[in-house]
């Protein structure tokens, strides 16, 4: 009497677990390789640059507007420029900290 070939197959739930495990391993491997690539480093460098540049430019625009509305001895443009740079650096620091996995 021959044995039914379907009896050797694992149950569908085990097939699903194996398939998910295989995909998860492949994804983790791809993430590790992507983190080591030069392009990933350049991309992170660009994102950090934008994280600082955007608040700085917003600070300059707000300061320029305040200088036009309220002319006087304090330079609102320089003050808001400084605030924008500080906020941008803090933003970039938080982003890099989050991406590197250190809390």
Does any domain span residue 67? yes
Average pLDDT, the chain: 83
For residues 84 and 87, give the distance between their C-alpha atoms in angstroms, rounded to a whole number.
5
Does any domain span residue 63? yes
Query: Has residue 103 got a pLDDT over 80?
Result: no
Does any domain span residue 6? no
pLDDT at 45: 82
Q: Are 48 and 90 in contact (CB under 8 A)?
A: no
Domains: count for the chain: 1
For residues 50 and 44, give the distance between their C-alpha atoms in angstroms, rounded to a whole number.
10
The token pair at 10 is 């694992």
Query: Has residue 1 got a pLDDT over 80?
Result: no
Does any domain span residue 2? no
Does any domain span residue 1? no
Percent of the chain at pLDDT exceeding 70: 83
CA 14 → CA 7, 17, 70, distances in Å?
14, 5, 71
pLDDT tens for residues 14-47? 777 888 888 888 888 877 766 566 777 777 788 8
User: What range defines the domain where residue 29 resides?
Assistant: 11-100
The token pair at 15 is 């097939």
pLDDT at 52: 93
Does any domain span residue 65? yes
Does any domain span residue 32? yes
Query: Has residue 98 got a pLDDT over 60?
Result: yes
For residues 29 and 65, give the distance between their C-alpha atoms in angstroms, rounded to a whole number.
50
- pLDDT band at residue 55 using 50, 70 and 90 as cut-offs: very high
pLDDT at 72: 85
DSSP string for 64-93: HHHHHHS-SSS-HHHHHHHHHHHHHHHHHH
Does any domain span residue 5? no
């Amino acid at each position: 009497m021959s044995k039914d070939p379907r009896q050797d197959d694992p149950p569908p739930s085990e097939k699903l677990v194996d398939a998910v495990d295989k995909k998860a391993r492949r994804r983790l491997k791809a993430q590790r390789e992507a983190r080591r690539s030069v392009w990933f480093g350049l991309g992170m460098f660009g994102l950090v640059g934008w994280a600082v540049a955007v608040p700085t430019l917003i600070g300059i625009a707000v300061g320029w507007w305040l200088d036009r509305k309220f002319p006087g001895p304090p330079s609102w443009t320089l003050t808001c420029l400084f605030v924008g740079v500080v906020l941008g650096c803090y933003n970039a620091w938080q982003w890099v900290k989050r991406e590197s996995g250190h809390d």
